Amino acid sequence: MIFLILVIIASATGAFCETGLTGGLGITHLEQSFVLFERDTISTGNEGKAFLEGNWNRVIGNNELRLYSSLNSGTETFWGRAKAEHERTGVNNLTIKSDLAFDLRQPYSLGDIPGYYKWSVNSRARKKWDEARGSASFSFEDKRFTSESSYAYDYSLSRIRFDFGFPLIAERDELTFGYQFAFRYAPDTTEANYQRNNVFVSWDYFSGGNYWRADFDGERRVYNKGDLSGNHWRTNWNIAPKIGLTDKLTLEPKLIAESYRYDLASSVYPNRDEISVKTTGEWAFSPYLYGSIGPRYLVSWANLSESDNYREYSMEFGLDWLKYRKIWLDLIVEPGFRVYEGEIPEEFAFYSNFWFVEISAISSYWITERLRVDLIGIYSPEWHDIDDNDITTLYLSTNLKYEFFKSK
């Protein structure tokens, strides 16, 4: 609330470089339909809300200060956030950025998901040389719940990260190496404590209308609970170039490969691998409208876990329509089929082969220059070989936002 007051005062006095205040109404709907004990079941949840968001920004010499706050009062819960950021650009291309944030969530009923409060602090220093750049960052967050369960427990998380990038073969490319150490401490449950080491490697290359990118993330996670269960190695590869075939047609192949290896593999922690291959062609109908289409193939296999052995075949259709301050629509429709390998044990019978459709949409429409409607929607039905295994998930979030002012 203090930040919102500052925003209002700033706008009235004209003392700051940029301010904004947005308010509105919204509703969220979550629905799942499935069969439970041979009976059709529908689980639904609805929440209406009113919200107010404010921001304040000022540049003084080499310093920039940004404040942000958001208040959401719903029919089921209250949520608020306040955040302050400071960025300083010093001599010799040295930039230091820090932020401090507070979050609060409180349900109105004791039977709801537990509420919490969280605070976090982040600091990052970036340095640029003629042909290279480096950065070092530290972050800490502390989260406390109003009540605890196996999924909601108090914890603190500390992270430190280093990155260094430089051109490999030309000025248009960059090879980056990174390392991160993280430690999570949960005072009331040692099973949630862990140490995590990550190494990152990425390569970016620009050539004419083409863009090539490859990423690697390797992780070693160790839980501090006195045994080997849960401890694992994880690797993730992501290769995603963009190749301009014509002025209007772009080819976007993508390969994602992820692997887990546990110190003590079991049916709960199975060693598993997953590979996803997708090739999409994007066509520019206009500078504002793009359409895409392409097949996707995914294969997953694991030892000691029959439910993780399957193949997926699907076709993805996409539409991206953007006219700033007028309309934005990002729509993806993906029909497909999943087939499980081998014979599924009776206790996992609900993992039967199925057809599916994944539909997701994010859109904004400006009714006037200051008034807009936002929509986020996900619709995911599954049709199984065994009818009782069918499940449908629907999520809708709609907001009506009004921008009271935005000044410079």
**pLDDT-above-90 percentage for the chain:** 66
Check residues 258 and 76 and name the one with the higher pLDDT.
258
> Contacts for 30-38 with beta carbons within 8 Å, 24 or more apart?
30/394, 30/395, 31/392, 31/393, 31/394, 31/395, 32/391, 32/392, 32/393, 32/394, 33/391, 33/392, 34/390, 34/391, 34/392, 35/387, 35/388, 35/389, 35/390, 38/388
pLDDT band at 290 (very low <50, low <70, confident <90, very high): very high
What's the mean pLDDT in 74-93?
Answer: 92
User: What residue type is assigned to position 353 of the chain?
Assistant: N
Mean pLDDT rounded to a whole number for the chain? 89
CB 335 within 8 A of CB 314: yes
CB 357 within 8 A of CB 380: yes
Tens of pLDDT along 344-357? 666 666 678 999 99
Q: Which two tokens stand for residue 370?
A: 């200051």
**CA-CA distance, 23 to 401, in Å (whole number)?**
6
pLDDT band at 373 (very low <50, low <70, confident <90, very high): very high
Which sequence spans correspond to the domains of the chain? 2-407
Q: What is the pLDDT of residue 4?
A: 46
What's the mean pLDDT in 273-284?
Answer: 97
Fold of 2-407: Maltoporin; Chain A (2.40.170)
Residue 1 reports pLDDT greater than 80? no
| Least-confidence region, from 11-15, 101-105, 111-115 | 11-15
